[in-house]
Amino acid sequence: MNIILLGPPGAGKGTQARILCEERDMIQLSTGDMLREAKQSGTEMGQRVADVMARGELVTDEIVIGLIREKLEGEKKGGFIFDGFPRTLAQVDALADLLAEEGETLHSVIEMRVDDDALVARITARSTCANCGEVYNDLTKPIPEDGKCAKCGGTEFTRRADDNEESLKQRLMEYYKKTSPLIGYYYAKGQLAPVNGLGEIAEVRAAIARVLDASEGAAGRDA
């Protein structure tokens, strides 16, 4: 199964991607993670990434597609989760061409829909374990009373500087401006599957599982 996760900042894409990796042996292709990994790799592509980032420039679509190609040509496991890419219609076309070249299929585009005001309230209450990256929330998943991370035992927690109401609203505006054409495009192709991104983690997980199981069943009938 190859899927795209769409959703604004804080919608929970990272959390659900980790669940899919654990439960379905999928591989998360996060643009940010791939760029950081490439920068430290010492490869030719990694050097290109490092040079661009050192100049403070945006990494080109060509470079990102090159990084994704390397991943697609490696171990496939249970399929790929595209997280953070594509973000524009040009990137949609580039990804479609790459998947076709590699003999891969895009099975579903899952849109994690949220209520903006509820999302802002949730994110401004968010903190992260500085040691392992586990995410906590003052409202829904507070830091344990003993002050230790439940996952690794760490005692240092941080909040992102841009996790404030003004910055979040700006980030949401940018997301919707860039992403709304993608939502319309994948809807028209019959690949868009919306889920409620503000449900409990288990509820969102179950909704995504239903989408993937249905897509898997359809793929089996077409085979």
Q: Where in the sequence numbering do the catalytic residues fall?
A: 13, 87, 126, 160, 171
If phi over 0 gives left and psi between -120 and 50 gives alpha, with beta otherwise, what is residue 25? left
| Beta strands across the sheet bearing 3-6 | 27-30, 80-83, 3-6, 108-113, 192-196
Going by C-beta distance under 8 Å and a sequence separation of 6 or more, which residues neighbour residue 38? 45, 46, 49, 50, 67
Backbone torsions φ then ψ of 12, nearest 5 degrees:
100, 20
Q: Using the structure block, give the residue that is written with the tokens 């950081």.
A: 36
Q: Which of 172, 7, 168 is nearest to 82 (CA)?
A: 7
CA-to-CA separations, 17 to 23, 25, 106, 164, 188, in angstroms, rounded? 10, 10, 16, 24, 25
Contact (Cβ atoms closer than 8 angstroms) between residue 191 and residue 106? yes
- Measured at the CA of 134, the angle between CA 29 and CA 3, to 5 degrees, comes to 25
